[in-house]
Amino acid sequence: MWSSSSLQQPLLLQLLVVQSLLVAVVLAQRSTTPAWNTLTGNRPLVVARGGFSGLFPDSTSLAYQFALSTSVSDVLLWCDVQLTKDGFGLCLADVKIDNDTDIANFYPNKSTTYSVNGVRSTGYFSVDYTSDQLVNVSVVQGIYSRTNLYDGLPMQTVDDIAAISKPQPGIWLNIQHDAFFSQHKLSMRSFVLAASKRVVISYISSPEVGFLRSITSRLPKVTKLVFRFMGQDVVEPSTNQTYGSLLKNLTFIKTFASGILVPKGYIWPVDSGLYLQPHTSLVSDAHKAGLEVFASDFANDNLISYNYSYDPLAEYLQFIDNGDFSVDGVLSDFPITPSEAVDCFAHLGTNATKKVNTLVISKYGASGDYPACTDLAYTKAISDGVDILDCPVQLSKDGVPFCLSSIDLIETTNAAQSTFSTLATTIPEIKSGNGIFTFSLTWDNIKSLTPSILNPYTNYSLKRNPKNRNAGEFVTLSDFLSLAKNQTSLSGVMIIVENAAYLAKKQGLGVIDSVMNALSKAGYDKPGPQKVMIRSTSSSVLLKFKEKTNYELVYEVDETISNADNAAIADIKSFASSVVINKDSVFPQDVLFLTGTTKTVSKLKSSNLSVFVETFSNEFLSQAWDFFSDATEEINSYVTGAEIDGVITDFPKTANRYRRNKCLNLGNKTPPYMAPAQPGALFQAIPPGAAPPAPAPVPPLTVSEVIEPPLPAVSKISPSPAPAGTKTGGQGNAQSRVTICAALLSLPVLLASLLLI
């Protein structure tokens, strides 16, 4: 009765076929697994809740097929079974079906109220409709933060998904409500026993003791029973005990189940501030009782704890590779990510070798974890394994060069709430709107401000680590260089120079000379193990450096482009060896789907320009749907798909770990979960009616956008009056202070070298 998808998805099907071929290869290849701390010693299982429900509407054929084609080869397809009035078993996420389907369009104003486990609940229930009455009802996205562009797919029955799963992986049926269906004269027990004669069921889970005990002796051997724990205070309907109290007797659970399924907080609890607590003893206790442990509620777009820095892979690794234990399986809406975790990232060790040479370049240090450009952001970036540490140079009123993400102090300090708020002005050459600019305050003033963490996604209520909100101190360029110079793991520094013309002409400040001086004082003007990159959006700034130094020059294109014309390339090559572009200049997007691949990277690379791309962030809101809310997938698509030379990231840990994973450089044995996205495939799979209008084409970079007038000379302007209550430090003073500071900082280095002699 339930026909298969009526939508046309030729490209997606092609994608599925390609990826299924990959699955077959991987199946043959993966056998040498290291020891796992699971009950059996086998690697943890990946269970796809409703298929790939993080992207497609829950429990649709597309969701299930996509889970199969992008996950480990033995992924289990999870179906939440709901019975119709005539006893058909549908896969739908909830006992109320109105969030997940368009039933209200067919039966308007027909919602009813029933008691579900003693709680009165209003909505549409499958028990009120026969399969014939539901024939035209289709599945829609029930979670509003996910895309609804694939809405309208047909509902699937248990038999449908058993057919989809064939021949390899198995299915997992969750019977969330047996008592409720019994009240409506429908027997889950009869349904499940009958279904187990038609199809192979690998697992059956339920939060009802009575239900599991009623089927335990009647099922084929291949079917394992799993008791599902709900919230600790929730009452289990057949024993009247809370789940918290049932947890105390795992021996009892073992009498009717071979495993348990628990919300992830049962294992790694999270406190009220959303920080991870020490783990409980649940996994080892359950393993001692002979029970397998499955953890639920994994979704890349719902990480909960700040300890993961918004990196979903980090969360899975916490459950499967923490040195103490491993859960036996995870229930996920995004099965591709646990597949990577299990097969590519677990047991990597701290110093696994790099498999790709792509540079990891910090964005204001590890500014996803600490306030941008503070000492803590920089030391974190270094310990996270960054190659190139970046410093956007700003000048204070007294001419001290220091690192800060913006020339406007309001963006990353408390300047607007400080006594310096009166210094706010509007300078259209720099930015529209008010700012409190670095050149209006002395370095002493600036040092006294409190740093604040960048929070690009607070308008979607994703806050970066509140404990680090105001942590760290700002550093001068010389502090930065001494810090960097001392690190053998760094391959270089990237100094970013902007607003040079304005500062020279209007403020009498020579940023280029300040940078050159600081670099020579730190010894970076002589050949050494670390390289210096100078980055600017201004060709005239880079030409000035080319005239006087041998540093590597990096041109930043500050607009989205689709290509670059020959004259523009020729001009860039006359002063730079690398180019920074944004992500959209590589893979353009529409309604958050990739629409294809531009010519930008191939054109720049064929002209021998290295290509660095920004900004790679862990927050899923920064990523197109094609990357499955998984920062690692995004990086992989740019590195192995577009072959870029460097990623610029505010979360360098994620990018560095990516380079060391075991699934790189496997050629045609690359597993599907480490294959790059196919830009445009998911976009073209959007049903015609729902497809958005085509976006306007993006133009290429032209030479007139690259060429600039030469820089003006640094003007001699008399120092403007200092803000009230602060001492004026002239440029001369500042330079000598910087010198002393640099000398002090390099003293330990000097001492160390003396001691070595």
> Applying CB under 6 A, does 270 fall inside the site for ligand NAG?
no
Torsion-angle region of residue 189: left (phi > 0), alpha (psi -120 to 50) or beta? Answer: alpha
> Applying CB under 6 A, does 255 fall inside the site for ligand NAG?
yes
In eight-state DSSP terms, residue 408 is B
For helices 477-485 and 375-383, angle between their N-to-C axes, nearest 10 degrees: 20
> Applying CB under 6 A, does 108 fall inside the site for ligand NAG?
yes
> Applying CB under 6 A, does 419 fall inside the site for ligand NAG?
no
User: 117, 302, 418, 486: which one contacts ligand NAG (CB under 6 A)?
Assistant: 486
> Applying CB under 6 A, does 276 fall inside the site for ligand NAG?
yes
Contact 375, 356 (CB under 8 A): no
Q: Which is nearer to ligand NAG, 540 or 607 (CB)?
A: 607
User: 31, 32, 40, 240: which one contacts ligand NAG (CB under 6 A)?
Assistant: 240
What is the footprint of ligand NAG within residues 722-741 (CB under 6 A)? none
> Applying CB under 6 A, does 107 fall inside the site for ligand NAG?
no
Contact 267, 220 (CB under 8 A): no
Parallel/antiparallel/unpaired status of strands 578-582 and 492-497: unpaired
> Applying CB under 6 A, does 464 fall inside the site for ligand NAG?
no
> Applying CB under 6 A, does 2 fall inside the site for ligand NAG?
no
Longest dimension (CA), the chain: 93
Q: Which is nearer to ligand NAG, 610 or 654 (CB)?
A: 610
Q: How far is the CB of 164 from ligand NAG (least distance, A)?
A: 24
Give which of 483, 477, 510 is closest to 496, Cα–Cα: 477
Task: Kindly report whether the peptide bond that precedes residue 60 is cis, defined as omega within 30 degrees of 0.
Answer: no
User: 3, 28, 32, 144: which one contacts ligand NAG (CB under 6 A)?
Assistant: 144
Q: How far is the CB of 341 from ligand NAG (least distance, A)?
A: 17
Please count the other Cβ atoms lying within 10 Å of the Cβ belonging to residue 432: 8
Report d(CA 620, CA 545) in Å as an integer: 38
What is the footprint of ligand NAG within residues 605-644 (CB under 6 A)? 607-608
Task: Kindly report whether the peptide bond that precedes residue 44 is cis, defined as omega within 30 degrees of 0.
Answer: no
Binding region for ligand NAG (CB under 6 A) out of 45-53, 65-73, 132-140, 427-435 = 132-140
Q: Which is nearer to ligand NAG, 251 or 736 (CB)?
A: 251
> Applying CB under 6 A, does 111 fall inside the site for ligand NAG?
no
Size of the site for ligand NAG (CB under 6 A): 34
Report d(CA 26, CA 673) in Å as an integer: 11
Q: Which is nearer to ligand NAG, 245 or 491 (CB)?
A: 245
Q: How far is the CB of 214 from ligand NAG (least distance, A)?
A: 14
Q: How far is the CB of 16 from ligand NAG (least distance, A)?
A: 28
User: 8, 33, 122, 249: which one contacts ligand NAG (CB under 6 A)?
Assistant: 249
| Residues with Cβ within 8 Å of residue 284, at least 6 apart in sequence | 324, 325
Binding region for ligand NAG (CB under 6 A) out of 128-136, 213-221, 414-422, 497-505 = 128-136
Binding region for ligand NAG (CB under 6 A) out of 134-142, 280-288, 291-299, 533-541 = 134-142
Phi/psi for 613 (5° steps) reads -125, 140
Q: Which is nearer to ligand NAG, 438 or 610 (CB)?
A: 610
For residue 391, the cross-strand partners are 495
One-letter amino acid of 539? S
> Applying CB under 6 A, does 251 fall inside the site for ligand NAG?
yes
Residue with tokens 């070298």: 753
Residue 571 burial (C-beta neighbours within 10 Å; 0-12, 13-18, 19+): buried
Dihedral sign from CA coordinates of 660, 641, 495, 373 = negative
> Applying CB under 6 A, does 426 fall inside the site for ligand NAG?
no
> Applying CB under 6 A, does 349 fall inside the site for ligand NAG?
yes
User: 467, 548, 669, 727: which one contacts ligand NAG (CB under 6 A)?
Assistant: 467
> Applying CB under 6 A, does 415 fall inside the site for ligand NAG?
no
> Applying CB under 6 A, does 275 fall inside the site for ligand NAG?
yes
Q: How far is the CB of 467 from ligand NAG (least distance, A)?
A: 5
> Applying CB under 6 A, does 96 fall inside the site for ligand NAG?
yes
> Applying CB under 6 A, does 577 fall inside the site for ligand NAG?
no
Report d(CA 376, CA 187) in Å as an integer: 60
> Applying CB under 6 A, does 14 fall inside the site for ligand NAG?
no
Residue 529 burial (C-beta neighbours within 10 Å; 0-12, 13-18, 19+): exposed
> Applying CB under 6 A, does 94 fall inside the site for ligand NAG?
yes
Q: How far is the CB of 142 from ligand NAG (least distance, A)?
A: 6
Q: How far is the CB of 80 from ligand NAG (least distance, A)?
A: 11
Binding region for ligand NAG (CB under 6 A) out of 172-180, 287-295, 347-355, 365-373 = 347-355
Q: How far is the CB of 275 from ligand NAG (least distance, A)?
A: 4
Q: How far is the CB of 513 from ligand NAG (least distance, A)?
A: 24
Report d(CA 601, CA 586) in Å as an integer: 6
Alpha helices in 430-538 (DSSP H): 443-447, 477-485, 500-507, 511-521
Q: Which two tokens stand for residue 113?
A: 């109220």
Q: For the CA atoms of 114, 115, 116, 117, what is the dihedral angle to 10 degrees?
A: -170
> Applying CB under 6 A, does 459 fall inside the site for ligand NAG?
yes
Contact 548, 517 (CB under 8 A): no
What is the footprint of ligand NAG within residues 363-402 (CB under 6 A)? none
Q: Which two tokens stand for residue 246?
A: 């049932």
| Residues with Cβ within 8 Å of residue 221, at least 6 apart in sequence | none
User: 3, 31, 32, 351: which one contacts ligand NAG (CB under 6 A)?
Assistant: 351
Torsion-angle region of residue 290: left (phi > 0), alpha (psi -120 to 50) or beta? Answer: left
Question: How many degrees, rounded to 5, is the angle at CA 532 between CA 527 and CA 534?
Answer: 140
Q: How far is the CB of 359 from ligand NAG (least distance, A)?
A: 18
> Applying CB under 6 A, does 482 fall inside the site for ligand NAG?
yes
Residue number of the CB closest to ligand NAG reads: 349
Binding region for ligand NAG (CB under 6 A) out of 105-113, 412-420, 437-445, 544-552 = 105-113
Report d(CA 543, CA 490) in Å as an integer: 26
Q: Which is nearer to ligand NAG, 143 or 409 (CB)?
A: 143
User: 99, 302, 379, 418: which one contacts ligand NAG (CB under 6 A)?
Assistant: 99
CA distances (Å), origin 596, targets 600, 611, 737: 12, 18, 52
User: 307, 322, 582, 733: which one contacts ligand NAG (CB under 6 A)?
Assistant: 307
Q: Which is nearer to ligand NAG, 423 or 698 (CB)?
A: 698
Q: Which is nearer to ligand NAG, 481 or 496 (CB)?
A: 481
Report d(CA 473, CA 452) in Å as an integer: 10
Binding region for ligand NAG (CB under 6 A) out of 426-434, 440-448, 482-490, 640-648 = 482-490
Q: What is the CA radius of gyration of the chain?
A: 30
Question: 723-751: string of b/e by CB count within 10 Å (b at 16+)?
Answer: beebeebebeebbebbeebbeebbeeeee
> Applying CB under 6 A, does 34 fall inside the site for ligand NAG?
no
User: 425, 669, 748, 753: which one contacts ligand NAG (CB under 6 A)?
Assistant: 748
Binding region for ligand NAG (CB under 6 A) out of 271-279, 513-521, 678-686, 703-711 = 271-279
**Strands, E, within 576-672: which ranges?**
578-582, 589-590, 593-594, 610-616, 646-649
Binding site for ligand NAG (CB under 6 A): 94, 96, 99, 106, 108-109, 133, 135-136, 142, 144, 239-240, 249, 251-252, 255, 275-276, 278, 307, 349-351, 456, 459, 467, 482-483, 486, 607-608, 745, 748
